[in-house]
Amino acid sequence: MSRENWGSRLGFMLAAMGSAVGLGNIWRFSFVAGNNGGGAFLILYLLCVLLIGIPLLLSEVSIGRKAQSDVVGSFKKLAPGTPWFLTGFFGVLSAFLILGFYSVVAGWAIYYFIQYVTGSFAAQPEAGYGGAFGEFISNSWYPLFWTALFMGLTIFIVVSGVKKGIESANKIFMPLLAIILIVLAFYSISFDGAAEGLRFLFSPDWSAFSDPSIYIAALGQAFFSLSIGMGAMLTYGSYLSKEHKLPGATLGIGIMDTFFAVVSGLVIFPAVFAFGIDPASGPPLVFITLPTIFEQIPLGGIVGVVFFFALILAALSSSVSILEVPTAYFMRVFNWSRRFTTILMGSIMFVLGIVVSLGFGIWAGVTPIGERNILDSMDYVASYIFLPLGGLAMILFVGWYFTKQQALEATDFTGSAVGNVWYFIVRYFAPIGIILVCLNSLGII
Ligand code: PFF
């Protein structure tokens, strides 16, 4: 059977942007920035995206395109007889961990969407938006219905295949979300007291840099948001043929992803300060802030419907890229059909989702890592350990396993001056940067 391919370079770019832009930009970015002091975090995050994230994104896509195989198969093909393929196993494992909790949060978004459609969130519920959210997620079974629905939609798109399902869905999702977010940012900035939020986001508190956890938080967020270190971008790159040029495409994806994160910061933080919400509220942050904004603005009920619809679509275009990683791998290894493999992988992830969801209900006292509940613990392992290590392996592969000539050729950089800068980053700067940040987070340096 011949491998599938994107219809065009634009199709690939939109799908990769769809993968990058998702709950990570809106939900995760705002609570991680809120927990880590805002401005100082933003600076480190932008540095991580520019100096490590985008060069790694290019490397990761180029591995997939060169090998034309899944995340394990690519390393087996390009480096036969070596242990590099273990990087791929890490990636497959990360995919299960990430979609396990991602589908739960996306399920919350579907629930909110329905609340806006039926009008029940148009006015503040009796317990307040924070109280209503807490009540909803701590119910043991109800949220699972929405998680299952989200997983079902993800499976449906992935079963439809690369071009028909993933590519065409993204062409509509992205522009719609961008427009809504920009309009909301203008609203948020116009609230009384919004200036405090802008200060929080843009004028760093320098003392925050002395907290070691901020560095890994910034690196982990950059990796999560750009979908790198797991093999999603590698797998998408494998559906790309040789005639499409990579550097411009990956830079575009990185810029777009960062744009969405900064704009959602502009939506969330002015409102957080204007309405006296705690910026360090953790994962529930956007689910409390956004309804509070929508309640204050004209036609907020309708804005709520459209916003959560776009958020669900953004989450879907990311979740399909996560599910595609193990699907592509198992399909090849066991020669299973796309349909069967997707349903099986999606079902296993849903079971993990059940565990995550119960972590807010009957298992609320279960804290696998430190004080963290089940969702935070899975996110911690995936974003702060697996993605950075997976990314490190990939960047070392391109910087050190490939010859310079192979690396430049794989990324369409042959004979380019920028290519030399990129190569320096990939060979020295980024790996050292990732290692230092990881050692720092372990308290070793
Ligand atoms: N980048 C996605 C987001 O920001 O929501 C999440 C994600 C997708 C993470 C794919 C990792 C991944 F491999």
3 with 328: CB under 8 angstroms? no
For ligand 1, say whether the CB of 232 is within 6 Å of any of its atoms. Answer: yes
Q: Positive or negative CA dihedral for 127, 133, 137, 143?
A: positive
So what's the pLDDT on residue 166?
Answer: 66
For ligand 1, say whether the CB of 321 is within 6 Å of any of its atoms. Answer: yes
For ligand 1, say whether the CB of 233 is within 6 Å of any of its atoms. Answer: no
For ligand 1, say whether the CB of 22 is within 6 Å of any of its atoms. Answer: yes
Q: pLDDT tens for residues 290-346?
A: 999 899 888 889 989 988 988 898 899 999 999 999 999 999 999 999 999 999 999
DSSP 372: B
Residue (of 315, 336, 369, 389) closest to 91 by Cα position: 389
Site to substitute for ligand 1 among 321, 323, 384, 389, most atoms within 8 A of C-beta: 321
pLDDT band for position 2 (cuts 50, 70, 90): low
Mean pLDDT to the nearest integer, 67-72? 97
Query: Atom 8 (ligand 1): residue with closest C-alpha?
Result: 227
Q: Is pLDDT at 1 greater than 60 in this prediction?
A: no
CATH number of 9-441: 1.10.4160.10
Question: How far is 409 from 427, CA to CA, in rounded Å?
Answer: 15
Backbone angles phi, psi at 293, to 5 degrees: -65, -50
Nearest-Å Rg of the Cα atoms of the chain is 21
For ligand 1, say whether the CB of 24 is within 6 Å of any of its atoms. Answer: yes
Cross-strand bridge partners of residue 322: none
Question: How far is 246 from 411, CA to CA, in rounded Å?
Answer: 6
162 with 9: CB under 8 angstroms? no
C-alpha dist (Å) from residue 161 to 85, 92, 146, 313, 334: 25, 19, 23, 17, 18
So what's the pLDDT on residue 167?
Answer: 67
Question: How far is 259 from 155, CA to CA, in rounded Å?
Answer: 28
Question: How far is 425 from 357, CA to CA, in rounded Å?
Answer: 40
The residues spanned by each domain of the chain are 9-441
Question: How far is 337 from 330, CA to CA, in rounded Å?
Answer: 9
Catalogue the long-range contacts made by 117-122 (C-beta closer than 8 Å, 24 or more residues apart).
117/305, 119/301, 121/291, 121/294, 121/301, 121/304, 122/295, 122/300, 122/301, 122/304
Shortest-distance atom of ligand 1 to CA 321: 10
SS3 398: helix
pLDDT band for position 177 (cuts 50, 70, 90): confident
Give the orientation angle of helix 247-274 with respect to helix 39-48, to 10 degrees: 170
